[in-house]
Amino acid sequence: MAMASLFHKTSKTHFYFSLLNVTKRSFSSFSISFDSRTLTPPFQVRSVTTPTEAFVGFDEMVSGTQRKYFMLGGKGGVGKTSCAASLAVKFANNGHPTLVVSTDPAHSLSDSFDQDLTGGALVPVQGVDSPLYALEINPEKTREEFRATSQLHGGSGVKDLMGSLGLGILADQLGELKLGELLDTPPPGLDEAIAISKVMQFLESKDYSTFSRIVFDTAPTGHTLRLLSLPDFLDASIGKMMKLKKKIASATSALKSMFNKEEPQRDDASDKLEQLRERMANVRDLFRDSETTEFIIVTIPTVMAVNESSRLCASLKKETIPVRRLIVNQVLPPSTSECKFCVMRRKDQMRALDMIIKDPKLASLKIIQAPLVDVEIRGVAGLKFMGDMVWK
């Protein structure tokens, strides 16, 4: 059902989600009513004196068949998954074969789509016009499997497993470094490395070539920043490893040629490391390519969330990651009832919105408000509904 008709159903409208096959959530303490006299599509809260945009610029996001990546991130619980999943549904319904990937160790894509998307493989999402696949990368589980395989087979399965993750080259190189021990005390960023390796597979594998839109539901801020800076970190580490290997290789071949008169061997390992380095550089460049990639910050109108978003925005800009849009989710509409709680809460939210427009970093972004609705957004129909109100 079109949203406009939902709005015109009654003057004081509770969202009629049952028509949309959305799981109804009961608010025991209060339920928010949206008044169609004050709230007009697309859910613009008109009394808010912020320079928020009526349109997110979806036309620009959807145009072209060239592959584009959208990464949604922000503080925990602000609605990243709902926004990412609704964007993926909207892309698929606009003709793009789409892949939505969760790199958050605490996945909620399955809950959001109301379908079992677990298992670490591509799972088709039902109920959309073009192919939509979801992938939940579970780095912790993978690390556990990794350790178990390593113990079971005395390390023989490690290489296969790493190979299946796109990390085979690393396995070769790290073979002598006792991986089991490494996994007992994983270095910071290992989980993100596994996520990155999947991204590298997207870039290279034929299986993924059909997807023209890839949407990432990222982990809360700290993880995301590590994920984004990891290619640089690995690039530097690999650089050091390569130098070391080259030194060892040249010393070894010099010795060999002295004693055995053998021809110096070509160092395949170094070639592979060079390939890995290139892959990492590609990933790093991809993150920073404003033609193909965009990071969208999701926040809610609270002082804590706005402060964190401001820091995230600063870090992204420092890393030269393209960031242009800020979704302010769960905005309360003006209350027409006597509900003191709602009035106070909204006042508080207005203060946080004011902070956004006074924040030099955030104010430069396209700011889009999405209202707090009185039902839980779940399933493709609910996500379509959300997508139609956010992604205009």
Residues with catalytic annotation?
104
Interface size with ligand ATP, residues (CB under 6 A):
18
Residues 214-243 that bind ligand ATP (CB under 6 A): 220
Which of these ranges, 55-63, 76-84, 89-97, 124-132, lies near ligand ATP under the rule CB under 6 A?
76-84
**Per-residue contact track with ligand ATP, 295 to 334, x per CB under 6 A?**
----------------------------------xx----
Asked if 143 contacts 194 with a C-beta cutoff of 8 angstroms, the reply is yes
| Sheet with 123-124, side-by-side order of all strands | 123-124, 132-136, 98-102, 213-217, 68-73, 293-299, 323-331, 366-371
Report the residue number, 97 or 387, with the smaller CB distance to ligand ATP. Answer: 387
372 interacts with ligand ATP by CB under 6 A: yes
76 interacts with ligand ATP by CB under 6 A: yes
Report, in Å, the least distance between residue 378 CB and ligand ATP: 6
Q: Which of 373, 380, 381, 383 binds ligand ATP (CB under 6 A)?
A: 373
13 interacts with ligand ATP by CB under 6 A: no
Closest by CA position to 194, among listed 234, 154, 155:
234
In eight-state DSSP terms, residue 251 is H
Report the run of H or E that residue 369 belongs to, with start and end: strand 366-371
Report, in Å, the least distance between residue 383 CB and ligand ATP: 10
77 interacts with ligand ATP by CB under 6 A: yes
Report, in Å, the least distance between residue 386 CB and ligand ATP: 7
Report the run of H or E that residue 327 belongs to, with start and end: strand 323-331
Residues 178-217 that bind ligand ATP (CB under 6 A): none
Q: Where are the beta strands (DSSP E) in 145-292?
A: 213-217
Closest by CA position to 104, among listed 226, 232, 201, 283:
226
Dist CA 150 CA 175 (whole Å):
12
98 interacts with ligand ATP by CB under 6 A: no
SS3 of residue 285 by DSSP? helix
Structure tokens at 11: 């003057």
Q: Which neighbouring-strand residues pair with 215?
A: 70, 100
Question: What is the contact surface with ligand ATP in residues (CB under 6 A)?
Answer: 76-82, 104, 106, 108, 220, 329-330, 370, 372-373, 376-377
